[in-house]
Structure 1
Amino acid sequence: MVENPPFTKKTEGNFTGTEIELIERFAAKHGLLINYEEGSESELIKKLEKYELHLIIGGFEKLNLKSYFYLLRFFHLYLIVFFI
Protein backbone atom coordinates (compact mmCIF):
# COMPACT_ATOMS: atom_id res chain seq x y z
CA MET A 1 0.00 0.00 0.00
CA VAL A 2 1.32 3.37 -1.04
CA GLU A 3 -0.17 6.15 1.08
CA ASN A 4 -2.04 8.57 -1.16
CA PRO A 5 -5.13 10.21 0.43
CA PRO A 6 -8.05 10.03 -0.17
CA PHE A 7 -7.46 6.65 -1.85
CA THR A 8 -5.20 5.12 0.78
CA LYS A 9 -4.17 6.43 4.18
CA LYS A 10 -2.77 5.10 7.44
CA THR A 11 -3.83 6.80 10.67
CA GLU A 12 -3.12 5.47 14.14
CA GLY A 13 -2.34 2.01 12.77
CA ASN A 14 -5.56 1.79 10.75
CA PHE A 15 -5.76 1.76 6.98
CA THR A 16 -8.53 3.89 5.45
CA GLY A 17 -9.50 5.38 2.13
CA THR A 18 -11.66 4.64 -0.88
CA GLU A 19 -9.39 1.94 -2.30
CA ILE A 20 -9.00 0.35 1.13
CA GLU A 21 -12.79 0.15 1.47
CA LEU A 22 -13.13 -1.35 -2.01
CA ILE A 23 -10.49 -4.03 -1.39
CA GLU A 24 -11.90 -4.89 2.05
CA ARG A 25 -15.44 -5.31 0.65
CA PHE A 26 -14.10 -7.52 -2.15
CA ALA A 27 -12.11 -9.63 0.34
CA ALA A 28 -15.07 -10.01 2.70
CA LYS A 29 -17.36 -11.09 -0.13
CA HIS A 30 -14.89 -13.76 -1.28
CA GLY A 31 -13.62 -14.89 2.13
CA LEU A 32 -10.11 -13.55 1.59
CA LEU A 33 -7.63 -12.23 4.14
CA ILE A 34 -5.78 -8.97 3.65
CA ASN A 35 -2.22 -8.28 4.75
CA TYR A 36 -1.22 -4.67 4.14
CA GLU A 37 2.40 -3.94 3.32
CA GLU A 38 3.56 -0.36 3.08
CA GLY A 39 6.25 0.84 0.72
CA SER A 40 7.10 3.07 -2.19
CA GLU A 41 5.55 2.45 -5.59
CA SER A 42 8.85 1.15 -7.01
CA GLU A 43 9.47 -1.17 -4.04
CA LEU A 44 6.02 -2.67 -4.24
CA ILE A 45 6.12 -3.11 -8.03
CA LYS A 46 9.39 -5.06 -7.65
CA LYS A 47 7.69 -7.35 -5.11
CA LEU A 48 4.71 -7.74 -7.43
CA GLU A 49 7.05 -8.75 -10.27
CA LYS A 50 8.53 -11.45 -8.01
CA TYR A 51 5.03 -12.71 -7.10
CA GLU A 52 5.57 -11.65 -3.48
CA LEU A 53 2.37 -9.55 -3.63
CA HIS A 54 -0.96 -10.05 -5.37
CA LEU A 55 -2.05 -6.44 -5.63
CA ILE A 56 -0.80 -2.93 -4.94
CA ILE A 57 -3.02 0.04 -4.21
CA GLY A 58 -2.37 3.72 -3.71
CA GLY A 59 -4.55 5.84 -5.97
CA PHE A 60 -2.10 5.74 -8.84
CA GLU A 61 -2.88 8.42 -11.37
CA LYS A 62 -0.77 7.15 -14.25
CA LEU A 63 -0.99 3.65 -15.63
CA ASN A 64 1.43 2.32 -18.17
CA LEU A 65 1.22 -0.90 -20.17
CA LYS A 66 3.23 -2.73 -17.50
CA SER A 67 0.72 -1.70 -14.82
CA TYR A 68 -2.18 -2.97 -16.94
CA PHE A 69 -0.36 -6.28 -17.46
CA TYR A 70 0.04 -6.87 -13.72
CA LEU A 71 -3.54 -5.87 -12.99
CA LEU A 72 -4.88 -8.20 -15.66
CA ARG A 73 -2.56 -11.02 -14.59
CA PHE A 74 -3.97 -10.73 -11.07
CA PHE A 75 -7.43 -11.44 -12.40
CA HIS A 76 -6.12 -14.22 -14.70
CA LEU A 77 -7.05 -12.32 -17.83
CA TYR A 78 -5.00 -11.77 -20.92
CA LEU A 79 -4.78 -8.71 -23.10
CA ILE A 80 -3.47 -8.52 -26.63
CA VAL A 81 -2.42 -5.03 -27.57
CA PHE A 82 -2.10 -4.04 -31.20
CA PHE A 83 -0.07 -1.01 -32.13
CA ILE A 84 -0.84 0.62 -35.48
Structure 2
Amino acid sequence: MGIIRKLREKWADSETVDLMVIIGLDKQKALDKMARKVGGEVFLDRSGSVLKGLGSRGVPHWFVLDSDNKILRNFSGYYTPVEEQIKRLGF
Protein backbone atom coordinates (compact mmCIF):
# COMPACT_ATOMS: atom_id res chain seq x y z
CA MET A 1 0.00 0.00 0.00
CA GLY A 2 2.67 2.43 -1.10
CA ILE A 3 0.24 5.23 -1.91
CA ILE A 4 -1.14 5.23 1.64
CA ARG A 5 2.34 5.46 3.12
CA LYS A 6 3.30 8.25 0.70
CA LEU A 7 0.14 10.23 1.44
CA ARG A 8 0.63 9.82 5.20
CA GLU A 9 4.21 11.07 4.86
CA LYS A 10 3.12 13.99 2.68
CA TRP A 11 0.45 15.15 5.12
CA ALA A 12 2.06 14.12 8.42
CA ASP A 13 2.18 17.71 9.70
CA SER A 14 -0.95 19.00 7.97
CA GLU A 15 -3.71 20.60 10.01
CA THR A 16 -6.08 20.70 7.04
CA VAL A 17 -5.71 17.28 5.40
CA ASP A 18 -6.61 13.97 7.01
CA LEU A 19 -6.29 10.49 5.57
CA MET A 20 -8.88 7.81 6.33
CA VAL A 21 -8.52 4.21 5.26
CA ILE A 22 -11.62 2.03 5.13
CA ILE A 23 -11.15 -1.69 4.65
CA GLY A 24 -14.16 -3.62 3.42
CA LEU A 25 -13.39 -7.30 3.87
CA ASP A 26 -15.67 -9.77 5.63
CA LYS A 27 -13.18 -12.33 6.96
CA GLN A 28 -11.51 -11.34 10.26
CA LYS A 29 -8.13 -12.81 9.30
CA ALA A 30 -8.09 -10.88 6.01
CA LEU A 31 -9.17 -7.68 7.79
CA ASP A 32 -6.40 -8.00 10.36
CA LYS A 33 -3.78 -8.70 7.69
CA MET A 34 -4.81 -5.72 5.56
CA ALA A 35 -5.01 -3.41 8.60
CA ARG A 36 -1.43 -4.35 9.57
CA LYS A 37 -0.25 -3.83 6.00
CA VAL A 38 -1.86 -0.38 5.75
CA GLY A 39 -0.79 0.70 9.25
CA GLY A 40 -2.04 3.72 11.15
CA GLU A 41 -5.70 4.30 11.84
CA VAL A 42 -7.97 2.00 9.84
CA PHE A 43 -11.76 1.79 9.78
CA LEU A 44 -13.37 -1.57 9.10
CA ASP A 45 -16.45 -1.84 6.90
CA ARG A 46 -17.27 -5.55 7.15
CA SER A 47 -20.68 -5.26 5.47
CA GLY A 48 -19.44 -2.89 2.77
CA SER A 49 -22.31 -0.49 3.53
CA VAL A 50 -20.09 2.59 3.89
CA LEU A 51 -18.36 2.05 0.56
CA LYS A 52 -21.65 1.19 -1.18
CA GLY A 53 -23.20 4.33 0.30
CA LEU A 54 -20.34 6.38 -1.15
CA GLY A 55 -20.86 4.82 -4.56
CA SER A 56 -17.82 2.54 -4.63
CA ARG A 57 -17.53 0.68 -7.93
CA GLY A 58 -14.41 -1.39 -7.37
CA VAL A 59 -11.49 -2.23 -5.12
CA PRO A 60 -9.55 -0.27 -4.27
CA HIS A 61 -11.73 2.80 -4.51
CA TRP A 62 -10.33 6.25 -3.76
CA PHE A 63 -12.34 9.23 -2.54
CA VAL A 64 -11.33 12.82 -1.86
CA LEU A 65 -13.86 14.52 0.40
CA ASP A 66 -14.04 18.07 1.69
CA SER A 67 -14.64 19.05 5.32
CA ASP A 68 -18.41 18.68 4.75
CA ASN A 69 -17.87 15.11 3.46
CA LYS A 70 -18.77 16.13 -0.08
CA ILE A 71 -17.01 13.89 -2.62
CA LEU A 72 -14.64 16.04 -4.69
CA ARG A 73 -12.93 13.24 -6.64
CA ASN A 74 -13.18 9.48 -6.82
CA PHE A 75 -11.97 6.58 -8.93
CA SER A 76 -11.40 2.88 -8.57
CA GLY A 77 -8.35 0.77 -9.33
CA TYR A 78 -4.59 0.91 -8.95
CA TYR A 79 -2.37 3.25 -10.91
CA THR A 80 1.39 3.02 -10.87
CA PRO A 81 3.69 4.58 -10.07
CA VAL A 82 2.39 5.95 -6.77
CA GLU A 83 2.94 9.52 -7.95
CA GLU A 84 0.39 8.93 -10.73
CA GLN A 85 -2.20 7.81 -8.17
CA ILE A 86 -1.57 10.92 -6.09
CA LYS A 87 -1.83 13.11 -9.20
CA ARG A 88 -5.11 11.45 -10.19
CA LEU A 89 -6.48 12.30 -6.73
CA GLY A 90 -5.65 15.94 -7.41
CA PHE A 91 -2.67 16.34 -5.11
After TM superposition, the score normalised by the length of structure 1 is 0.31
Structure possessing the higher relative contact order (Cα contacts under 8 Å, 6 or more residues apart): 1
After TM superposition, the score normalised by the length of structure 2 is 0.30
